[in-house]
Structures are given as C-alpha cells and as structure tokens.
Structure 1
C-alpha cells in the first residue's frame, strides 16, 4: 500500500544520485563520514515537513551533529530521526536552533492550547499552557502517561517555541475511548518520519486495535505493534500487516537496543556535544524512556541534554529532571496566580 510520496526504499538511490554518491545502495546507504553527512542533508531536504529549515550535518565516529535552523521543535526532532535512520549513525547531537517567531508569547500559548484542543486523543480541558521567553510549560492534568507525552509532541508542532517543560500531572482517573486510542496511534504514525512512504490502517473496537498495511521488515512490524499498545489498549492484532522488503529502512537494522546500550551511546553523544561542557548529568534507561538527572551550567545545556537524548535510537520519552546550577526547580504542575494562562479562542 504505497503512497504517492517518495518511497522509502527508492529514496536511497534517488538521493544518492542527487549528491553523487556512487557507493550508496538501498542495502548499505552512503559510505564514509563525508558522504554520510551529505546524504543526511539531502534526505532532510527531501522531507516536505522540513520546509523552512536549513540543516548542516557533520559526522564523526558514528555520531551525526546537526547545525543550522528550524522553525519548530518538531522539525529539529524530525531531522534527528532522519539522521538516525542512516546506516552507520549511532547517535545524533542536535544543535539546531529555532528561528525567532514574529508572534508574542501569549499568541504562542494560544496556538498550543488550540492545537491541543483539536486533538481527539487528549482531553485538553484540564491543560493550561504558559509561554515565557518562547519556553512553553504544560501544566494541569491528563488521564494517562500517553496523553502526557502526546501533549508535548503536539506542542512541538508550534513554530517558534524553543523549549517545552512538561509538568502535566497524570491522574489515571479517565477511561480512554476507542476514538482517542485510534487518534493517538494515527498521530504516532503520521508524526514518525520513518513511516513516510507507507500507509497504516487502524481500527479500534472495545480497546482492541487492528492494524493493516505494509511495513519494510518484521522488526518494523514488531515495533509498530509495541508502540500501538497505548493506554486503554487490551490487545493489538497485526495479522493484516504485510512485510514488503522494498519499504525497508535498512539504516535502522539493529539500532533498537537494550537500555545498557542506550546509555553507552548517550554517554558518547554527551561527550561530543560542546554545549554540555561543565555539566554533571546522569542518565538512566528503562524500556523506551530515558531519565536525566544532575546539574547543567545553564538552560541551554539542560535543553541540549534532552535534545541529544531524543536522538538515541529506541528512545521515545525523555524525563528531563536536570537542574540548572544555582537555580530552583519548580514542583510539578505548580502554577502561580500571576502567570499567564492561555485561553481557547472560540
């Protein structure tokens, strides 16, 4: 079930021809650091959701460093995901800067609130958004961990925000509807650049998810099934997911590893990031989540640690508990009365 956009298997050959990489093949991708860097740059440019960004790539010792500008946090994370899908890349140091928006903080807050309210996967009525200096804080309550992380993902789509602090409290006091579950899975597929070029059908009835369509490998199928086990799902049926090797993302082979491997790669990535000089950050991993603790010399280093952690294969959630040296951490979901809360514009 291919879509009209650039198919994943053929992107290797098309992009290789564009940058003159004679050694690049669908099976092995580009060879050498310089070719790999050029290839990633072209791959990012080929993504129609990266319009407005300018990304430069350097590769050394299997670590890709992204420099340049993007219009949103979503674009920075999308560029990192594309780099990660390239053979020989084991980690990404994401140094992309967000272009300054024309909109003021209050307008950015309204835009986030409106985007959250339009999502069928989240009950946004208990969420409030605060934006100060282009840094958004999500406060209030949601019913599940999935909604907490999804709220952050939706907020990253708003151009101009340079950081998101997710302080949503999970209450576990709601029952998710089939429509909310379906909306979350569809958002996950649509938001994942590695799903570009494939079509996945999703049906949900009484908490049972039925998936249909094509993926490139058994590993991709297993990953899709695993990620579809969101809150409220009792079972996932994937008998109608067919494996089509022409759609395989060969660069991801073997990159979804165990937590101990994740931490080793993350340590190397932190060492390669000059923004983290002087930081004392510890990381722990459990499943697809990485938790960061310790201290950073400034806000930039704290945000850099999170963006780099999100560039590690298999990491879906990053809990950033790093404190800025000399700063005072804010309690989860605490909001002072004088802070500006966004309101939904009807």
Structure 2
C-alpha cells in the first residue's frame, strides 16, 4: 500500500514501538543528534509538517514548544519524541488552538463516547467543558478505567485538553503479594518487555517498579500494565530509560521457556487483567497447539473480539492466531439503518478523522467503510471506531489510503529510513540492510521478534517508501515454510 510523504503513521509506530530496543553503537547520541532526528520525523508527519514546533534537548530531556490545531496533533508530536533513542523524558508545552466547536457540542460528544465505552460505562462519569478543556469527574473501579476514560475524551474533535479528576474506588480485597505476582507475570509474558528485567514491589496497594527500559514509550506502557484492578497507584520513578541496561539473554531465555501450557496461562492472565475483557474472559475458549492459538466462543461486541486478538499478539511465544470468536449482541439488535447512523456519528466525533468523508454501508450488521484517508493510521482509527458501535458484528474496511508519491529520491528515502531504524528500532542483535529502487524499499537481514519486524515495515512506509518488501527474518518466530511471516493486525 502506498502512503503519502507525510503520514500519521508516526503515531502508529509509537504504539508498536513499546518494546525497548538496544543500540548497535555503545555511545549515546548527542543532544544535537536527538534534536535533528526528532525534527526530521516531525517533518515526515503530514499533520505536523505545516506547524512550527521547536525542539530543545538538554541532558536527555526533550521540550516541545509550538502551536497545533488539535489535541491529536499534540499527542502525535509527543509520541515521536518519546520513541526516539536517547530521550529520557518529554516536556510537551505545545498549545492547542481553540476549536470553532462550541463547548456544548464538545460536551455532548464526550458524554456519548463515555457512554458507549466498554470499560467505563458503570458507574457514570460526569463532564464539564470550558474553552475546549474537558473536566472528567466521577468514580471508577481501576486506574486503567480512569486512563481509558481520558483517552476516549481526548479523541473527540474540538477537545484541547483533558483535566482528569476521576477517582478510583478501592473495593478490592486483593493482597499486596497477589498484586505483585500478577503484575510481574504480566510484564514477563509481554513481547514489549521481553529483554527488560523489571522488579515489582507492592506496598499498601501502591505498585513500585524499578529497572530499565529502552524508550520513554516503554516506560509509559509499563505503568499501564501495572494498572490492574486493586492497585491504588503506580510509581515508575525507579525505572530508568537506558537501552544499554537491557539484557538480550533474557529475551532468548523467555522464548526458549515457553510451552503451549504457559502460553495458555499467559493469555488467560491477560484477558482477566484487561479492563475490557475481564468480565467476558470465562466465555472465551483458548486452545494452543505448537504456539498456534485458536480463540472460540461468543462475545457481545465486535470490538471485544478484536481486543482479544490484540492481547494474544502481545504474549511471548505466540506464532499464529486464529480468532474464531463470534459476535452476538445480547439485547434487541439495532437495524442496519441505526448502525449506519451510529457509525457515521461516531466517525464524525473523531479528532483524527475531522477532514475525511467516509461512506458507511451496512448489511445484516456487517459494516463496510468506503472513501479516502491520508494514512494507514486514519484507516485503522476508522476501523476501530466502527468496530465499537453497538450491534456491529464485522467491519469490512475498504478505505483507500491516498497514493501520493513521497517526492523523495531513492537516496533520500534510504537515508531517512536508516535514520529511523537507528533512533527508533535498532537492537544490538539486529542486522538490517536497506536498498531503495524506484521508491520501493527492500529490507533484508535478521531481527529477534515480530514486533521489530513490523516496526521496520512501518518505518519504511513513514520514510516515504512505496510497497516496502520486508524480507527480514525473525529469529524467535521463524516462518513455518517459505517466506511467510507472522504479521500482527
């Protein structure tokens, strides 16, 4: 698929790039090199290319200053900085311009997204909006639900800031040791931390994590993993961002130790800890045979089926997944006309899709999306939104990504891709060669995991390559035959 020169894929890569890469060189990049890498990646991002964002770097601390038109743009800029090797923290001082939407319009949309959110619908959350700033008030059962509510509100078109005043109800009687054991297991089984040695201590329901990760994005994800039910707060101040302190032998050992039984246990643990799936976990059957996972059973939302597959992808040792979960809406099924209307309204609320016209068709609860979008990220956001609409059992995403040429020479694409690999991926164990011919990037070499494989692919697209050919071999997830590879959704 051909993507435009400046793409929202920058933000998507930050989602994939939570693993903590080590680097080929022993020396850390200088402040000038970090600043140059971030500036170049900001320029490669369509939504940010017309905004003047200043980047300052001092002692590993990056400060972003400027003005953007949406909260989504502010978040994308921050994600780019956080994924960059050598960055230890990011101070985001970017201001969001006031939207033309009224506070009442924004509040109405925020209330709707919170109402349909599958993790925070009970108990209710109230909202207040002033000048585009949304205040969230209420009580939820976990830190994860609190975070998800903020994420949902931030995705609404016109929101410039979210003031999260939600408090967490401490209704759990789980012991500190139970919490410590579960958090530790979730970290060890995660593909995002397979070479990180993280110590977990829990005292009076406060989780304290220490150790080292390779990127700021990894530190943030680590905090999210620890936000399980029963935890009152998570302290990650003891976690360093230092890729040189990662241990590649841990990754090798963790993949060597997996069995079908351990994979099954890890998947079940992920389901039971997830704020979306925990109440539905018992209805999902998990069968693992030679690291190939099959999910079966019935769930009440298409989004839940998708979420289950995503969680399986994140477990160390999984080679393939067959997601056979069926969707059965438990209440009176909405008509196709109602589903179309609800989907159109949900798409219109999104700050990511504010410049897009997407046509929605529905046949017996099977939704199809048609139209043009700027990037693969916009396509995936639209899919996720439609997937979450009540009554939808399947989404056929026929959105096309506008195929504008990048305008870059082969030499420039190769230079940009090598820079991105250096600052956003490269492990000591990685051996990647890049050749660009007529705009097509050909990647060869070896990486350890599918996560690195996928990230290299996304970075090639972001660099401006057309139809990247990813011939990289995956050491810990070898193809069963020929040149087939594990490609996560």
TM-score, normalised to structure 2, is 0.33
Rg (Cα) greater in structure? 2
TM-score, normalised to structure 1, is 0.44
